[in-house]
Amino acid sequence: MIPYGTHLLDSYYGIKVYGSGHVIAHNSIAFFHDSIGVSTYGTPEDEQELKAVSIDIYNNDLHLQVDDFVEGDGGVHNIRVMRNRGVNAVENGISAQPVFGGPAYYIRNIVYSIPLGGALKIHGSVPGLTAYHNTFITENNTGSRYPNSNFRNNLFFGTDGPTVVSSLHLTTPYSVSDYNGYRPNRGPNSPEEQFNLLNAAGDSVGFKTLKSFSRTSGLEKNSLTIDFDVFEDLQKPIHALERGLPSPVYHAVDLNFELDPNGKAVDAGVLIPNVNDSYNGKAPDLGALETGAPPEVHGARRLDPGQEFYR
């Protein structure tokens, strides 16, 4: 997995759309620069009927991209990215750079192994970013500033790289981030201060612990510090690109994203009407997969879920 070097890229984009009312669902996509995206060529059209609105991207299975899995870049209103699974992307999991107006909904997505970037690429003061119930085996480390956002019931796992696990540069006091789980980075080059926010002067301020971050910011009051033992059987990805070496290529069929029923991420979430009403237990679980729920179908429905679609 070497950006722009020797690779298996068949083309630049897997699926690219513009306009309104598109549904991109149950596709299996591998070996592109970006898997799925909104066509990004400038500011939105003046005519409402030409704007990129009401686009649904769900239940896709995405493997080995040079840049990102899903790009909402150039979207305007109601960009819904839900229940996708992405394994191996060099730069970022899901992108919004920018979304014009919002909201953009990122719900119950799974992202694993992002050697050089993070879970979300957010640029251009993206408003209305809503992230619920995602399992991100990578950091929320975007350095950009953005307003009117809502993060709940997500799992963010640091993979011990030279970055922070959480950078919440929220510019509006009514933004929300709570009931999330964070695994701080603990690598030899990881910053000691793993949680960042913007202070009243607009400067980025770091904190060593989730507790100290919450005490100062008022955010994450019900969030947890976690580790990989919240899963039944899932290991941290190995990232070697920062050392100039190729990172391993992982395969979704070898990875188990189910939560340990006795782990601290179970029943640790908050009810979000119309999103997690059918939860099991005392409260919704954190992350993309609810314990005891029917298995999610990612990718083309005619394929064997136990077999890789790309080899």
Give 224-270 pLDDT, tens digit per residue.
Answer: 999 999 999 999 998 766 667 778 999 999 999 999 999 999 999 99
> Could you tell me the pTM of the whole model?
0.94
Q: In the 8-state DSSP scheme, what is residue 90?
A: S
98 phi and psi angles, rounded to 5 deg: -105, 180
CA dihedral 23→153→294→25, nearest 10 degrees, is 10
Nearest CA to 19 among 60, 71, 61, 79?
79
> At 85, which amino acid appears?
R
Alpha helices (H) along 206-311: 210-217
CB 154 within 8 A of CB 128: no
Share of the chain above pLDDT 70, in %: 95
pLDDT of residue 3: 42
Q: Using one digit for the tens of pLDDT, what is the confidence trace for 19-30?
A: 999 999 999 999
125: left (phi over 0), alpha (psi -120 to 50) or beta: left
Q: What is the largest CA-CA distance in the chain?
A: 54
Distance CA 263, CA 224 (A): 12
* Cα distances (Å, whole numbers) of residue 150 to 169, 176, 227: 12, 5, 23
pLDDT of residue 4: 43
* Cα distances (Å, whole numbers) of residue 215 to 208, 223, 270: 12, 12, 20
The whole-angstrom distance between residue 89's C-alpha and the CA centroid of its chain comes to 12
pLDDT of residue 1: 35
pLDDT of residue 116: 85
pLDDT of residue 240: 61
Coil, helix or strand at residue 12: strand
Determine if the peptide bond prior to 98 is cis (ω within 30°).
yes
**Hey, what are 297's tokens?**
């179908």
CB 180 within 8 A of CB 155: yes
**Hey, what are 161's tokens?**
């790289």
Distance CA 271, CA 153 (A): 9
CB 58 within 8 A of CB 82: yes
Low-confidence ranges of the chain (pLDDT < 70): 1-10, 240-243
Distance CA 236, CA 241 (A): 15
CB 91 within 8 A of CB 114: yes
Distance CA 32, CA 72 (A): 16
Return the residue matching tokens 């009403």. Answer: 277
